[in-house]
Chain A
């Protein structure tokens, strides 16, 4: 997926210039290009598919409204993720209440678990484990992990997106990994006990 995204011949700037001239098709191209990452980032922050979809859509509308302000000082994706991150984080602060704690395993909606069971058992299993690990993190840490490992953003880009400085991001990533390792240790230990 990420390889497909980076293989495009025309730069984002080309499409942005066309959008500013009133070409809606150019905007639909950018939406198609980034929709999965935008949706993933908001889903990881919000942990709810409907809210994530809403935030992702709002973010694209905000992008369209503010496109004139984008001066190409950073990558378009960095600017876009910053809008998504801010929109999602403010949604978390406004909407989610501390009483909404749900059982770990159901925290993220795992869709179509029974589909192609034999073929994708490992993939699904890994996905479930990752979701359980993510569940132990707060929304900021989930966003950092998503940006750093999934979208392979640089530390400086993550700093721009989140507004946290470079050294703090490195520390946070290190601590988050440590936390995930500890949780993974517990999961694997339980699995081994189950096998024995």
Chain B
């Protein structure tokens, strides 16, 4: 074969074109996966709250809308939204009577009872959820 530049270029192209991958050892994947074990344990123990942040934001927004609607558009009829404007001033007095509320649902369907019960319940629920979330996220700190 003549050693012209053309021949050498062609031979080099052939060599580069037909090169092949080096084969990784047969147990390569197993070794990689076994090297991941410490990190896999972390993934498994990650805590995810039952109710997501988005859901809580949605609940909060809905409650705010409800609250605003009740105050901006007071109704003359006896409905769920019919909240007296001096509600806030009477809130403390009402909250004192929470313990005196009977568990008869039909007797208690009154706005003056619903608001002092529902809103503090939601707030307590949110605080409780955030508290659990914080404790679970930092449980290594609490365990030590």
Q: Which residues of A contact B (CB under 8 A)?
A: 1, 22, 24, 27-28, 31-32, 35-40, 43-44, 52-53, 56-57, 60-61, 64-65, 123, 126-127, 129-130, 133, 145, 149-150, 177, 180-181, 184-185, 188-189, 192
**For residue B27, which residue of chain A has the nearest CB?**
A53
Interface check B88, CB cutoff 8 A: no
**For residue A54, which residue of chain B has the nearest CB?**
B31
Minimum CB–CB distance from B110 to chain A (whole Å) comes to: 47
Partner of B8, one of A40, A65, A188: A188
Interface check B54, CB cutoff 8 A: no
The interface size bin for chain B is: 20 to 34
**For residue B7, which residue of chain A has the nearest CB?**
A188
**For residue B36, which residue of chain A has the nearest CB?**
A64
Instruction: Name B6-36 residues within 8 Å CB distance of A.
Output: 7-9, 11-12, 14-25, 28-29, 31-33, 35-36
Please list 28 pairs of residues, one from A and one from B, whose beta carbons are closer than 8 Å in the complex, sorted by A's number. A1-B20, A22-B43, A24-B36, A28-B33, A36-B21, A36-B24, A37-B21, A40-B21, A40-B22, A43-B22, A56-B28, A57-B31, A57-B32, A60-B32, A60-B35, A61-B32, A61-B35, A61-B36, A64-B36, A123-B18, A126-B18, A129-B15, A133-B15, A149-B17, A150-B19, A180-B12, A184-B15, A185-B3
Partner of B1, one of A24, A36, A123, A188: A188
Residues of A within 8 A of B59 (CB): none
Interface contacts (Cβ under 8 Å), in number, total 93
Compute how far the CA of A148 lies from the CA of B98 in the bound complex, rounded to whole angstroms. 76
Residues of A within 8 A of B11 (CB): 184, 188
Compute how far the CA of A189 lies from the CA of B3 in the bound complex, rounded to whole angstroms. 7
Please name 7 further chain A to chain B contacts, defined as beta carbons within 8 Å, in addition to the given A1-B20, A53-B28, sorted by A numbering: A24-B33, A38-B24, A40-B22, A61-B36, A129-B15, A150-B19, A180-B12
Residues of B within 8 A of A185 (CB): 3, 8
Say yes or no: B25 contacts A53, CB within 8 Å.
Answer: yes
Residues of A within 8 A of B66 (CB): none
Residues of B within 8 A of A127 (CB): 19-20
Interface check B44, CB cutoff 8 A: yes
Interface check B99, CB cutoff 8 A: no
Residues of A within 8 A of B17 (CB): 149
Residues of A within 8 A of B44 (CB): 22
Instruction: Name B43-60 residues within 8 Å CB distance of A.
Output: 43-44
